[in-house]
Amino acid sequence: EHSEIELAGLERRLAEQRARYDAAAARLSAARREAAGRLAADVTSLMAVLGMPGGRFAIEVGTDAGAAPSVAGADAVEFQVTANPGQPVRPVARVASGGELSRISLAVQVAAAHAGSRTCMIFAAVDRGVGGAVAEMVGRQLAAPGRRAPALCVTHLPQVASQADHQLRVSKLSDGRTSRMSVTELSVAERVEELARMLGGVELTRKAREHASEMLNAARAARAS
pLDDT digits (tens, 9 = 90+) for 13-64: 999 999 999 999 999 999 999 999 999 999 999 998 888 888 899 999 999 8
Structure confidence at residue 115 as a pLDDT band (50, 70, 90):
low
- The Cα-based distances of 197 to 93, 98, 186 in angstroms read 35, 26, 14
Classified as helix, coil or strand, 57 is strand
Q: What is the Cα–Cα distance from 169 to 117, expressed in whole angstroms?
A: 27
Reported as a single tens digit per residue, the pLDDT across 135-159 is 888 888 888 766 777 888 899 899 9
- The Cα-based distances of 100 to 44, 47, 131, 161, 170 in angstroms read 13, 9, 12, 20, 26
State mean pLDDT over 89-105.
82
Q: What is the Cα–Cα distance from 219 to 138, expressed in whole angstroms?
A: 13
Per the rule left: phi > 0, alpha: psi between -120 and 50, beta: everything else, 132 is left
- For the question of whether the overall pTM of this predicted structure is more than 0.75, the answer is no
